[in-house]
Chain A
Amino acid sequence: MSFFKAHWKIIVCGTFIGSVAALLQKYGNPPNMGICVACFERDIAGALGFHRVAVAQYIRPEILAFVLGSFASSLIFKEFRARGGSLPLVRFFLGFFAMFGALVFLGCPWRAMLRLAGGDGNAIIGIAGLIFGIYIGILFIKKGYTLGRNYPAYRLSGLLVSLMMLGLLFLLIFKPSLPTGAPFFSEKGPGSQHAAIVVSFIAAFFIGIFAQRTRFCTMGSIRDIILLKDFHLASGVMSLLVFAFLANIVFGQFHPGFANQPIAHSNHLWNFLGMTLAGLAYALAGGCPGRQLFLAGEGDIDAGVFVLGMIVGAGFAHNFSIAASPAGIAPWSSYAVITGLLFCIATGLFMKKHIA
């Protein structure tokens, strides 16, 4: 009981995210993708025309609401602090390459958990890769890897990501149809599957508040177990998994197996290595994609740069045949993952302070 007493807030947060994700799927989001930060940022990249894959274009209100919920929470609880300047360009490329890895596996850590909760066995391989990538990141961190400090910044600069999300919300609600066709919205495929805007937005807004309060982070949960034997964040992630699983059973959304899982493939090697790349990049950046959104909302400009890196990376990954599909990996998937791994390893090796 004392464990629950010490960690109840983050357990409630995980329970809420897991249940809401299953519900959003029931209300229209793609299968085993009630929430996926990577996939949803990819859909936003598509809606803006950064890639032209017709089935992956939608301004996902969940992403906007995560940032805005965290922003509201940080204002209410006086934790909004504009800050930045911790090697933003490196963080941009960590986000850029993390997205390659995520789109080769087809999901961020949240979706990896949701895929597992929906019975997709391939998620186990992905999560194993994620843990391995985070483990490599920890080795670098122990050797003194750091991107250095951030510094207090102009208040307005800390608002930019939230303002950008408001701009996207405007495009989503008013759908201005320009002669170019932008913004683009899928008419079939995963991009066309979504819950009502207001349902997605309100649910995700509350996730943003809870996650800002509890510092919910999937990468951090694994890192803290290995590095500090601290199970605090993990208790939240485990409750996400358990409650998504239970909700999936209730809603008839649990279908165990490896073959023919929705928006997934069974190339074990690249599922593993894709998530290794993603996990390593998240560890080096100090947070999973969800956490980067919540940090951006509370004024962390560097986290905002990571988010932009992921969105640009998504566009690149689809334009250059890197993102996988249910048919399997793409012609350039393997080269892109290896390039990303080389970048992350070089970052981890050479960006460190001397430890006496």
Chain B
Amino acid sequence: MGTKTLDLRGLSCPQPVLETKQAIEDPLFDELAILVDTKTSVENIQRLVSDRKDIRYTIEEQDDFTINLMKIKG
């Protein structure tokens, strides 16, 4: 199991959220570091994962946003 880094900065909707979704479904990774550059993308990804009990995440804001996503084993 490993960490996957996704640089989704500058992509139009819905690509950031769609690529995040695909990466979550990939069993090869249990941690994701997702880099986005707009608040809109952060909100979209939050909506994707906020209802899921098997995923925890933190958001770091510098110039861009990094969403660190962790899959919890049930």
Q: Which A residues are closer than 8 A to B by beta carbons?
A: 79, 81, 83, 86, 141, 146-151, 215, 217, 220, 223-224, 227-228, 230, 232, 285-287
Contact = CB atoms under 8 A, between A and B. Distances in A.
A83 B48 contact: no
A286 B37 contact: no
B5 interface: no
Nearest to A224: B14
Nearest to A284: B12
B12 to A, nearest CB: 3
Contact of B18 (A141, A147, A151): A141
B12 A147 contact: yes
A228 B10 contact: no
Given A79-B39, A83-B10, 12 more contacts: A146-B11, A146-B12, A147-B12, A150-B10, A215-B43, A217-B13, A220-B14, A227-B14, A228-B14, A232-B47, A286-B13, A287-B12
6 contacts: A81-B37, A146-B12, A224-B14, A228-B18, A230-B48, A232-B47
B40 interface: yes
B10 A149 contact: yes
Contact of B21 (A148, A228, A232): A228
B38 interface: yes
Interface residues of B, number: 17
Given A81-B37, A215-B40, A149 B14 contact: no
Contacts of B39: 79
Across the A-B interface, give the 6 residue pairs with the lowest CB-CB distance, nearest first: A149-B10, A286-B12, A150-B10, A286-B13, A215-B40, A149-B11
A224 B48 CA distance: 11
Contacts of B47: 230, 232
A287 B13 contact: yes
A285 B12 contact: yes
Interface in B17-74: 17-18, 21, 37-40, 43, 47-48
B10 A151 contact: yes
B3 interface: no
Contacts of B10: 83, 86, 149-151
B10 to A, nearest CB: 3
B48 A228 contact: yes
A40 B13 CA distance: 25
A86 B12 CA distance: 9
Question: Quick one: which of B12, B15, B43 has the most chain A CB within 10 A?
Answer: B12
A141 B40 contact: no
Contact of A149 (B9, B13, B17, B43): B9
A275 to B, nearest CB: 20
B15 A81 contact: no
B13 A227 contact: no
Contacts of B13: 217, 220, 286-287
Contacts of B12: 86, 146-147, 150, 285-287
A148 B10 CA distance: 8
Contact of B17 (A86, A228, A285): A228
Contacts of A217: 13
A146 B15 contact: yes
Contacts of A79: 38-39
A227 B18 contact: yes
Nearest to B22: A355
B47 to A, nearest CB: 6
